[in-house]
Every structure is written in C-alpha cells, then in structure tokens.
Amino acid sequence: MESWRVINEMSGCKRAKEGQVTGNSPEERVNSWFTHFRNLLGTHPTVEGAEEEIPAVLTNLNIDEGPFTVTELARVKSTLKQGKSAGPDRIPPEVLKNCDLDDIILEICNLALENNNKPDI
C-alpha cells in the first residue's frame, strides 16, 4: 500500500473516497462520473485479426430444435420436487406433476418456442 501512496503522490493522482464521486458541484460530479465511464467503456477494444472469420469448432451437435416432446416433458416432470413453493406462474409443483395437464403444458411451451415469446403471467 505504501508503494501505491508514493506512486500516486508522485503522479499527482488523487483518489476519491470510496463510494464518492469527485467534484465540488453537482455538474462537476456528473461530468466526473460521465468521464470515468466514457474512458472505461467509450472505445471498442482493438484486437489484431478480429476481422477474420472464426471457424466453427463443432458443427454437428445433434441438438433437436423441433417442438418439445411428451418424453422431454415427462423427464422434466420427474425432476420436480413436491412440497416446494410455486414459481412465477403460481402453479404448485404437485399440480404440474400429478394432474393430467401435459397436452396443455406442451401446447403453451411449443407456442412460446415457435413464436419466440413467453406467455404473460
């Protein structure tokens, strides 16, 4: 720590108190904050060879991109733990696991997948 104090002293760098933005007026503090983040985020990194196309490492991943299946739903239902609280849909896991709602759940999930949009809860 002593070495950083000496370096900052020699360079004239004054560090703001942690959690405080430097400046005597609100305008100066806004400008200080803006300058800090502009310097931090304002320029795109330059990487040599970034224009080159990156070759795909794996091309055949054997991932099914089709609609969800009854088998997939059954596998997921088997992992549900009873006695846990409901999720944002407010449906308890016991209802999802023990009631015959598979057709409805599959239809909702596949519509969401097809339209790339989740249903409003």
Categorize the per-residue pLDDT at 99 as very low, low, confident or very high, splitting at 50, 70 and 90. Answer: very high
**Domain limits of the chain?**
71-115
Average pLDDT, the chain: 84
Residue 96: the pLDDT is 93
Which of the pair, 103 or 15, is modelled with greater confidence? 103
Residue 55: the pLDDT is 83
Rounded distance between C-alpha atoms, residue 116 and residue 14, angstroms: 51
pLDDT reading at 23 higher than 90: no
Rg (CA), the chain: 28
Average pLDDT over residues 68-95: 93
Query: What does the pLDDT look like over 31-73, one tens digit per residue?
Result: 888 888 887 776 776 777 667 777 888 888 888 889 999 999 9
Residue 95: the pLDDT is 94
Residue 113: the pLDDT is 93
